[in-house]
Structure 1
Amino acid sequence: MNLSTIVLILIYAFNIISVLTLIFVKRSDTRVIFAWLLVFFFLPYVGVILYFLFGNKYRMRVMSKKYGMNEIEEKHNKALDKQIHDIARNKIQFKEVETEKYIDLITLNSKNAMSYFTQNNNVELLISAEQNFSRMFEDIKNATKSIEVLYYIFKAKDNVGSEFLSILIEKASKGVEVTLIYDTIGSLHTHKSEFNGLKEAGGHVYRFLPSLLKSFMFVNYRLHRKIVIVDGEIAYTGGINVGDEYFGLKKINKPWRDTNIRLTGNSVLSLQTRFWTDLVFLQNQSFRKKNKAKLMFDEKLLKSMYTPIEEGNLGVQIISSGPSTKNDTIKDGYVKMITSAKKYLYIQTPYFIPDKTILESLRLAAACGVDVRIMLPGIPDKKSIYAVSLLNVSRLLECGVKVYLHSGFLHAKTLVIDDHVSTVGTANIDIRSFSLNYEVNVFIYNNDFAIKCRDTFLNDVKDCTIFDIETYAKRGLWEKAYESIWRFIAPIA
């Protein structure tokens, strides 16, 4: 038996083992299994490499545990367990009576996502890059202690990126502790030398992942979060990255519609803990900086997280997810919101590649008489994913779900139900966001804020066209073939 024959046998053996692992060990979604079967069948040699790079989350879970903060998580869990116990025994006084109806959603997020529920918050809705960066830059300029920045995309040479960096450099030179994290793949065209000015001013800059080898080995797992924390008192998150296209300056996807939020109150500390956990994960991969960030986590700080701040009266939970989490926590929260809706459910998302659970939940909600509406972009940025998104929503049209296509590129990621519960964050309604990317969403329990989200959606409808069965039926033969091919690949794309 020659060498080439042995290699061929080993490749096919690995392919078979990979499929058996997906079916019997991981028990993956059947669409994911089928997609990988197609890859292994048509690309047996390349399939081995693709699965190693894209299909195995176990390596990322091991690495997250190795470089994580087990001690801090244990302390956090003790405080969380007490709150869950208090909720179960009706020991928590809700600031809004309406919130009591969603105690099961709060409990799910607490247990499933280790999310602490806080009620002393204010949340401001920001529906454009202009609003977001104007407000954010003002807060950053007033910072006196610390500025923590995390972005999936940070285009340092763009107008907004250049201005952002200039402000950070100025604050760092005046003694403010500035820390910036960006994703290597998302910011692929941003060279690390572009942050030299910030480093020279005393700022700290980290890439996800810090090693180019690890970036290649874990290329399918992206730090898709967007977080900015100012002085530990003000936080920003949502769909907006740092780039001029978010201002609608590129004709190809103009106008650009996006959503961010500004938070104050106890929830800021929860979001800051999320940032620090990501920072520790990166720092612990460097021998020289190992355990440095853990010094920030002492018992006094942990206790301060759960000491009420007299700021506002909005209930908030910070939900994180990623390839290192056991469950798809944000997806689970979405499903619970969908099944909890009694009157209406409004969704905005740039991509719609849900699994069967979400599709069935939406279908059942509409069948129960809930006013279900989904808004997608009218101008796509990824034509292949867009074709599958339209195919997926078309299946819901017969159930009574209303679908709208925005006049430009819609990048907002929002859900709102029944004038009380809403969520704004970084997660799209697709398998990548639910399972492969590191994401963060804010679940908000408040009548006034939910109504703002509802009214924003209804106002956006004015800039939309209705997507109905007749419109979808008019697509050509090539479009039908194109979407049919991509719907098999979408679960692993």
Structure 2
Amino acid sequence: MTYLLEYSDYGSAGLLIPAGLVLIHLCALLSAFHSLQHVRTSQAAVAWVVGLVTLPYLALPLYWVFARNRFEGYREAIRDIGKEHDQSVTSIRRELFSEPCNQPRTFQSPLAQVATVMGTPVSQGNKYRLLIDGIAFFDTMLWQIQSAKRYVYASFYIIRDDQIGKRFADALIERANAGVTVRLLYDEVGCIRLSNRYLRRLTEAGVDVHSFNTRQGWVNRFQVNFRNHRKMIVVDGRVSIVGGLNVGDEYLGAIPSMSPWRDTSVQIEGSLTRKVQAVFAGDYYWAARADLPEADWQRKTDCGTTDSNDPSLQEEPSGLGAVCTTGPADERPRTSMMFSAAIGAAKERLWISTPYLVPDDAMIVALAMAKARGVDVRLLIPSVADLWAVYLAGFYYERKLAEIGVPVFRFTNGMLHQKCVLVDDSLTLIGSTNFDNRSLHLNFEVMVAIEDRAFICEVEKMLDRDFANAKRSNGSNRPLRPWFARAGTALARLFSPVL
């Protein structure tokens, strides 16, 4: 009898194993069909279909983690909040998305072209301050936090529990103790090493802290490949800071191998700050499922949205700007559209500074068209690696750009991390968006497009100095790297869609 029971149990297990294998193959076939309908490019769809059919045990989990390019739930979260806080959600949409009747009717300026393509309003009367490198950024950020009277909103991709991280926490806690509303968002992947002790210290002091958790709910359980890569500060709805710096000692050059750290941010005073605030509010709705009752949405002077009898609008507009917010919840490829509009608007000069060079085909075509028009196209990237896979993939695209005559320069004076675009003498974009597939398709990003002659002159001088500290790296067809580095470049290129 004991023998029969043992045989019976073994026989049941023997049936479960092949049934499980059949289930895996069935799920792989369904996933292959899903990829044909939803994967962004036909080449990627073919690759996933082949992998899912031939190697289902490996490809199936990878597909549901890495192949998704649409963030589910973000828009639904804002709609859910809107049912209870309609006025706030209406304010967000008003700040970030313009009605067709309010969009520029001419395409004479690059800013007008970018704003129209992005469907975002242009505001005027703003004041801008260029923050070059870590000392200027952190001194300004901490001073602005300490000056807050009503509220502070902060959002960062990376926060470290180090010296500058502690100063940042101290500043937030001091304001919270003074009765100021302080809210902090952080990306759970970017801050994976951030200690619970650091977060607990903030929350116990009254700081409202939330992670931008992309895996909320069962439907979103596998959304681990998306990131909130934005870096923003908003103080009392009057001043904001947007740029490429996170909170950590490395951004002050504390890591010798990547020192000095070269980065850029911009401080904004004026109505454009409300639009940065609207970006934070949308992220906060997703993270906390709550409103921002203290937020100031009072409208002041916005180009194209105020009373035409206002005498201030009869003067030559100054301090023009637009906030370009992009991410995987967009229904259109807004990041590619933003870059394409800026590149297409260039008539004389197009300078792009980015830490990561992994463009998609649309960006390469746009650069080729600008070069064919006789535009001075230049790209500036680092010669120091902080992410090796992305760094190696960049060598392939260097050669690709050399084929169309676009020079790529590598910065030789430390780690270059700034994200900056300069179009002629009339437009600059500064923010968090890299020139790579992850920023183009997988990250939540924010860029500020600015049309202000004095500010653009500062950016031009800054980039002139950067190019003076760089050497062209794709001017020769000879492979200057050893064979194993070239092999790593080829391998890294295969993973470029998720880098």
Scaled by the length of structure 2, the TM-score of the pair is: 0.86
Counterpart CA distance in 1 for 2:63 and 2:320 is: 41
* 8 A Cα contact 1:118 1:267, kept in partner: yes
**Cα deviation, residue 8, structure 1:** 2.7
Q: Which residue of 1 aligns with 2:365?
A: 360
**Cα deviation, residue 450, structure 1:** 2.2
Please, which moves more after superposition, 81-90 or 28-37? 81-90
Q: Which residue of 1 aligns with 2:10?
A: none
Structure 2 unaligned residues grouped into runs of 5+: 1-13
Per-residue CA deviations over 1:74-118 (Å, capped at 9, x if unaligned) read 56556888753144557xxxxxxx9646533221122xxxx2211
Q: Does residue 1:465 correspond to 2:471, yes or no?
A: yes
Q: Which residue of 2 aligns with 1:425?
A: 431
Structure 1 unaligned residues grouped into runs of 5+: 91-97, 285-291
Counterpart CA distance in 2 for 1:200 and 1:327 is: 41
Q: Secondary structure at the match of 1:119?
A: coil
- Map 1:405-416 to 2 at 5 A: 405-407=410-412, 408-416=414-422
**In the alignment, residue 100 of structure 2 is paired with which amino acid?**
I
Question: Which structure has the larger Rg?
Answer: 2
Q: Which residue of 2 aligns with 1:125?
A: 130
Please, which moves more after superposition, 170-179 or 450-459? 450-459
**In the alignment, residue 11 of structure 1 is paired with which amino acid?**
I
- Map 1:44-443 to 2 at 5 A: 44-58=56-70, 60-66=71-77, 68=79, 69-70=81-82, 71=86, 72-73=88-89, 77=93, 84-87=100-103, 100=109, 102-110=111-119, 115-155=120-160, 157-209=161-213, 217-284=222-289, 292-293=290-291, 295-296=293-294, 301=297, 303=299, 313-407=318-412, 408-443=414-449
Please, which moves more after superposition, 388-397 or 445-454? 445-454
Q: Which residue of 2 aligns with 1:287?
A: none
Q: Secondary structure at the match of 2:73?
A: helix
Q: From the superposition, tell whether residues 29 and 426 of structure 1 become closer, same or farther in structure 2 (CA, over 3 Å).
A: same
Counterpart CA distance in 2 for 1:392 and 1:323 is: 24
* 8 A Cα contact 2:350 2:423, kept in partner: yes
Equivalent pairs counted in the alignment come to 470
Q: Which residue of 1 aligns with 2:482?
A: 476
Counterpart CA distance in 2 for 1:124 and 1:294 is: 27
Q: Which residue of 1 aligns with 2:8?
A: none
Counterpart CA distance in 2 for 1:235 and 1:167 is: 16
* 8 A Cα contact 2:149 2:180, kept in partner: yes
Counterpart CA distance in 2 for 1:294 and 1:137 is: 22
**Cα deviation, residue 34, structure 1:** 4.8
**In the alignment, residue 7 of structure 1 is paired with which amino acid?**
G
Counterpart CA distance in 2 for 1:349 and 1:81 is: 27
Please, which moves more after superposition, 10-19 or 399-408? 10-19
Q: From the superposition, tell whether residues 187 and 26 of structure 1 become closer, same or farther in structure 2 (CA, over 3 Å).
A: same
Q: From the superposition, tell whether residues 31 and 256 of structure 1 become closer, same or farther in structure 2 (CA, over 3 Å).
A: farther
**Cα deviation, residue 32, structure 1:** 3.1
Q: Which residue of 2 aligns with 1:289?
A: none
* 8 A Cα contact 1:105 1:336, kept in partner: yes
Q: Which residue of 1 aligns with 2:452?
A: 446
Counterpart CA distance in 2 for 1:343 and 1:268 is: 30
Cα RMSD between the aligned structures? 2.9
- Map 1:28-43 to 2 at 5 A: 28-37=40-49, 39-40=51-52, 43=55
* 8 A Cα contact 1:233 1:265, kept in partner: yes
Q: Which residue of 2 aligns with 1:26?
A: 38
Counterpart CA distance in 1 for 2:260 and 2:43 is: 34
Counterpart CA distance in 1 for 2:97 and 2:153 is: 28
* 8 A Cα contact 2:271 2:299, kept in partner: no
**Cα deviation, residue 180, structure 1:** 0.9
**In the alignment, residue 491 of structure 1 is paired with which amino acid?**
P
Per-residue CA deviations over 1:341-369 (Å, capped at 9, x if unaligned) read 11110011111111100011111211221
Q: From the superposition, tell whether residues 64 and 49 of structure 1 become closer, same or farther in structure 2 (CA, over 3 Å).
A: farther
Counterpart CA distance in 2 for 1:362 and 1:481 is: 27
**In the alignment, residue 33 of structure 1 is paired with which amino acid?**
A
Q: From the superposition, tell whether residues 158 and 274 of structure 1 become closer, same or farther in structure 2 (CA, over 3 Å).
A: same
**Cα deviation, residue 39, structure 1:** 4.8
Counterpart CA distance in 2 for 1:390 and 1:271 is: 35
Q: Which residue of 2 aligns with 1:288?
A: none
* 8 A Cα contact 1:420 1:449, kept in partner: no
Please, which moves more after superposition, 33-42 or 341-350? 33-42
Q: From the superposition, tell whether residues 142 and 99 of structure 1 become closer, same or farther in structure 2 (CA, over 3 Å).
A: farther
Counterpart CA distance in 1 for 2:156 and 2:110 is: 35
Q: From the superposition, tell whether residues 41 and 466 of structure 1 become closer, same or farther in structure 2 (CA, over 3 Å).
A: farther
Q: Secondary structure at the match of 1:396?
A: helix
Q: Secondary structure at the match of 1:342?
A: coil
Counterpart CA distance in 2 for 1:387 and 1:40 is: 27
Counterpart CA distance in 2 for 1:80 and 1:57 is: 22
Please, which moves more after superposition, 209-218 or 176-185? 209-218
**Cα deviation, residue 63, structure 1:** 5.0
